[in-house]
Chains A and B, each alone.
Chain A
Amino acid sequence: MESAILMETSADNIDFMIHGIFSYELFGHEVWITTSHVCILIIMLVILTFAVIANRKLKHASEVPDGFQNVIELIVEKLDGMVMGTMGPKAGPKFVNYISTVFIFILMSNISGLFGLRPPTADYGTTLALALITFVLIHFTKIKNRSAKFIWEDLCSPLPPWLPLWVPINLISIIAVPISLSLRLFANVLSGTVMMALVYGLLSKIAIIWPAALHVYFDLFSGAIQTYVFCMLTMTYIGQNYEEV
């Protein structure tokens, strides 16, 4: 009987791929607007609406916070505490805006699977872009804060600076940072998306209420953990360049 349930709903209605909506020509290449773009636009609209409402509310902020103002202050305080606690008082204030923006965007993207969207972070383009911004920030702050001598010594690090045998291995470890950052986020969200698509596609006859538990794990818990990990690693990599040597 169980196999009959599996047989009736064949593999045809499993769907977790990115779909193109329409294509256009750009410098002779065919470029597609996909479902990921649409989901990112929806998430941006939600965040923008929240920001505009919060801005209106805080223009008439009261000394004793009430209702909605409590929520905004709680979010800002938690994000401030997270960034300041990890990056320290010197680098923290410079990066709190960026890290908070990325945190809110990735969190909203990850939990958008709950609302029937395909999470944009399950598209490698999105996560690679985020990781490349981190990569550029790491090396920008490094060049800004460290002398050329220190960077060269760091590049040859286990061996003395006049013996640059270790440089290729250190270069590989530098390039591995954005790749591992982006693949970690991408694969985690994608695995959740695929699992939910398999549950809904193969077990659609008996998928009544219990997939909610899976949604809590794959979308909420895993999404929040991966958001935290991405921001934490970004902060540690950038914060390294501000520490006293």
Chain B
Amino acid sequence: MNITGTDLILACSAIGAGLAVIAGIGPGIGQGIAAGYAANAVGRNPGAKGDIMSTMLLGQAVAETTGLYGLLVAMLLMFVKPLVP
């Protein structure tokens, strides 16, 4: 079985894409912490539920960005294939 250089690059790109989406762990933890504190805050002050919800969603959406960078790198490696000559 002959493995050419391009095949090797494609295989390594697939491994790299898999490694890149590990970046999703961080935002998962961060969003969980935000949701936990939001639940805590609603328990203390149920009247402010609307404000707490919108603040929580805004913070979570911003925290999600780092995970999406990992996703972008994975998509570039899988579909754009920048390393293949």
Q: Which residue numbers of A lie inside 8 Å of B, CB to CB?
A: 17, 180, 183-184, 187-188, 190-191, 194, 225-226, 228-229, 232-233
- Complex contact A190–B75 (CB within 8 A): yes
- For this complex, 28 residue pairs linking A to B, each with C-beta atoms less than 8 Å apart, are A183-B65, A183-B68, A183-B69, A183-B72, A184-B61, A184-B62, A184-B64, A184-B65, A184-B68, A187-B65, A187-B68, A187-B69, A187-B71, A187-B72, A188-B61, A188-B64, A190-B72, A191-B68, A191-B71, A225-B57, A225-B61, A226-B61, A228-B57, A228-B58, A228-B61, A229-B61, A229-B62, A233-B62
The main secondary structure of chain A at its interface with chain B is: helix
Smallest beta-carbon distance A26→chain B, Å: 24
- How many CB-defined contacts (below 8 Å) exist between A and B? 35
Partner of B58, one of A17, A183, A190, A229: A229
Across the two chains, which residue of chain A brings its CB closest to B79?
A17
Q: Which residue numbers of B lie inside 8 Å of A, CB to CB?
A: 57-58, 61-62, 64-65, 68-69, 71-72, 75, 79
With the chains together, A14 CA to B65 CA distance in Å?
Answer: 26
With the chains together, A194 CA to B58 CA distance in Å?
Answer: 23
With the chains together, A190 CA to B74 CA distance in Å?
Answer: 13
Smallest beta-carbon distance B57→chain A, Å: 6
| Interfacial chain A residues near B62, Cβ < 8 Å | 184, 229, 233
With the chains together, A183 CA to B69 CA distance in Å?
Answer: 8
With the chains together, A105 CA to B65 CA distance in Å?
Answer: 22
With the chains together, A180 CA to B75 CA distance in Å?
Answer: 17
Smallest beta-carbon distance B37→chain A, Å: 18
